[in-house]
Structure 1
Amino acid sequence: MTEPLRLGVLVDCEAKLALLKTAVGQTGQKIEYCALVPSVNDTAGSNTPVLCLDQLDRIRDLDAWLVDIIHAEDDTQQAPGAAILNALLSSSLPVLLNDSSEMGDSPSDKVAWVNRVKTRLQRLLGEVNLQANPAAHEVWVLAASTGGPTALCEFLGELEPNLGLGFLYAQHIEEGYSPALMSMITRAGPYPPVTAGQGSVIQPNAITIVDPARRVQVLENSTLIVHDEPWGGCYQPSIDQLVANLARTHKNRCGMIVFSGMGEDGSASCRFIKQQGGQVWVQAPENCVVDSMPCAVLETECVDLTAEPAELARALNRRLKTKANSIEEQAADESPAIHRI
């Protein structure tokens, strides 16, 4: 799980502050500091302190600023707020600029506006986490259902450490079984398991377990948004939704391996992987406890490799070594020649 953001909130009226506190609270983030800026709005009688420019350096231990102030360059009364905003933008902390002027007056407009702020805060959490945790450049989905955990253990047992890949493990399973999966993966091989948390980073050399109860969205920067809604369709989690999302965001920097399982989940989305230049591998049907999922993917004619789990791992080891050697050779060819006299 990721730590909540420690936010500083800067507004020019109490009404905005109340709405932003609602949005921040609903995303699980924390407001460490909040203040009003000098503006045309009357701040007399407010319980919220008014921030001056010379106070900024004394505000510490924040991860980011959330700012919603009216800025009018031709209004001299806005000058203090403008100066504070410029100082924030030139600092090292991320600044999320919000615009409450886009919010309508009806209750539904306010709800929609709060939801947009929540989405932006979720993305901001991922950006902040990226500063401390580098993201995997290439991401593979490990997809499984009935019989999948045993096959995954065989796969991980042959996988070499430090390949640099990030893995998303999508296992059809009931809510509450994730701790058992984490224990199993920990014993199986060199890739530690982590849970898919709000704003978490898909890290290289780790396996992120996808939540079966809440829909997980992959962003272009390899961070995750966990939505407060279930996966669509009859599968929990939905492999097709996850893989289609990953194909859009990571193009040819992604792949999927379909292990033993019942049903056809993954057969539709594997086409997206192939269209983007990614890899689609499946466990050999004769080696599966239930072969429905691998067979459904094989019928699409999008599969690049079919083998037993241990051989799939060895093939991935070879593939990553070959790619690493190719990158090194390319770098050597592009380096300037050294002439000795």
Structure 2
Amino acid sequence: MAGNSEWNNIHIAVASSSIRQRNYLQNMMQGMGLSIVINEPLSEAFFAKLDKASADMVLLDIDENTHKDSALLDRLLDEVDIPVIFNDISALRHNSQLEQSKWYTQLLLKIAELSGRPEWDALDISKVLVSHTSAKVISARSTNAPRELARNVWLLGASLGGPEMVKQFLMAIPEDLPVAFILAQHLGKNFMALLAEQLDRMTSFSVMQARDGHVLCHQQVVIVPVDQRLTINPIGAINLQSIDTPTRYSPSIDLAAGDIGLRYENKAGMIIFSGMGDDAAIGAKKIRQAGGQVWAQEAHSCVNSAMPDNLRLLGLVNVSATPQEMAEMLSTYYSSERSND
């Protein structure tokens, strides 16, 4: 187990509305030798103490109540000049040592990454034991690296022939691309879990079915449910809601695109793959109106090109290419952002 001397040079301010979670973090971090300089809810008092504390970073717990303090959250993001870690505690709601170990590992890796201290670079976090569960933390190589809150979000829309085309696209995506994908695939409800499992094995991105409260991060692919509306709140957490008005297609690409364009504006994008029908036309207009990009699979590589062809006919497409080519072009599109990270 790593010695405390490797961890005791960093000071953390914890902001959490949960007493239980604050106590848990306090015990866990102090057990590793980390110094907790503030541990209380995000409030005016928190900011007053932060100005005087020698904190190296802020650890902000994200849950379903965080967005209610949007003014304080905005202030934290705009005025605080030290790194802020968004800590998604949804994994801790599951009684699973595996999920808790993944969460614990990712949190420690993120702290190490942001510390900027040379002695942390050689720290082998895979040797750390989770004393609270007596379970060994999974090696960083077998978990997803710590990810940042999604700011670039692209909708992937597909229908007939789409799963294979999406798979080709995701297989060609670089593992460090600063993008999150929302996948709206016309498919039966019973096949969504299988789709997530198959795609997850084929890409370096994490592919998952949508989960209410999950905080969307870069290098993730979230699949839109067939029977629920997926929106993303101001702090980046997924909200799943019942669909009030039945849509012609399930899930509705138009509905998902409109919500993403409204939320992310010119940081939103849309890629339409092989498929039948006219779903995506309204959504593509909304993405373009928000300042985002609309790309479409070129006709010859489609199983059925009706859906992307319709967007081209309407003059809504910025780029037409094969799935592999679009993956390469998206990498180039964000190359300057990746080089600055």
TM bin (shorter chain): 0.5 to 0.7
Match of 2:254 in 1: 240
SS in 1 for 2:274: coil
| 1:261-272 map, 5 Å | 261-272=275-286
User: Structure 2 counterpart of 1:276, which letter?
Assistant: A
Match of 1:180 in 2: 194
Mapped contact 1:122–1:199 kept (Cα < 8 A)? no
**Deviation digits for residues 19-69 of structure 1 (CA, Å, limit 9, x no counterpart):** xxxxxxxxxxxxxxxxxxxxxxxxxxxxxxxxxxxxxxxx64479xxxxxx
| Structure 2 unaligned spans of 5+ | 1-15, 24-37, 44-63, 74-84, 89-146
Given the alignment, which residue of 93, 96, 119 partners 2:41?
93
Distance 1:145-1:230 versus aligned 2 partners, 3 A rule: farther
Given the alignment, which residue of 249, 271, 281 partners 1:257?
271
Could you tell me how far apart the structure 2 residues matched to 1:92 and 1:7 are? 7
Q: CA RMSD for the aligned pairs?
A: 2.9
Could you tell me how far apart the structure 1 residues matched to 2:231 and 2:318 are? 26
Match of 1:199 in 2: 213
Deviation at 1:218, TM superposition (A): 2.2
Match of 2:101 in 1: none
> Does residue 1:135 correspond to 2:149, yes or no?
yes
Could you tell me how far apart the structure 1 residues matched to 2:186 and 2:233 are? 22
Distance 1:193-1:239 versus aligned 2 partners, 3 A rule: same
**Deviation digits for residues 9-28 of structure 1 (CA, Å, limit 9, x no counterpart):** xxxxxxxxxxxxxxxxxxxx
Deviation at 1:131, TM superposition (A): 3.0
**Deviation digits for residues 136-159 of structure 1 (CA, Å, limit 9, x no counterpart):** 111001111110000011111211
Deviation at 1:303, TM superposition (A): 0.8
Given the alignment, which residue of 181, 189, 209 partners 1:167?
181
Deviation at 1:323, TM superposition (A): 4.1
> Does residue 1:311 correspond to 2:259, yes or no?
no
**Deviation digits for residues 282-312 of structure 1 (CA, Å, limit 9, x no counterpart):** 0011211111110111122121110111111
Moved more, 211-220 or 200-209: 211-220
Could you tell me how far apart the structure 1 residues matched to 2:266 and 2:230 are? 20
Query: Computing the radius of gyration over CA atoms, which structure comes out larger, 1 or 2?
Result: 1
Mapped contact 1:232–1:238 kept (Cα < 8 A)? no
Q: Give aligned-pair identity as a percent.
A: 27
Given the alignment, which residue of 312, 316, 325 partners 1:302?
316
SS in 1 for 2:255: helix
SS in 1 for 2:40: coil
Mapped contact 1:191–1:207 kept (Cα < 8 A)? yes
Mapped contact 2:266–2:291 kept (Cα < 8 A)? yes
Paired residue total: 221
Distance 1:317-1:60 versus aligned 2 partners, 3 A rule: closer
SS in 1 for 2:165: helix
Deviation at 1:192, TM superposition (A): 1.5
SS in 2 for 1:131: strand
**Deviation digits for residues 193-231 of structure 1 (CA, Å, limit 9, x no counterpart):** 122111111111111111111111122332211013467
Given the alignment, which residue of 289, 298, 304 partners 1:275?
289
Deviation at 1:187, TM superposition (A): 2.3
**Deviation digits for residues 236-287 of structure 1 (CA, Å, limit 9, x no counterpart):** 1111111111111111101010001111111112112112221110001121
SS in 1 for 2:281: coil
User: Structure 2 counterpart of 1:237, which letter?
Assistant: P
Deviation at 1:125, TM superposition (A): 12
SS in 2 for 1:204: coil
> Does residue 1:190 correspond to 2:204, yes or no?
yes
Could you tell me how far apart the structure 2 residues matched to 1:319 and 1:146 are? 28
TM-score normalised by length of structure 1: 0.58
SS in 2 for 1:252: helix
Deviation at 1:91, TM superposition (A): 6.9
User: Structure 2 counterpart of 1:247, which letter?
Assistant: G
Distance 1:91-1:324 versus aligned 2 partners, 3 A rule: closer
User: Structure 2 counterpart of 1:254, which letter?
Assistant: A
TM-score normalised by length of structure 2: 0.58
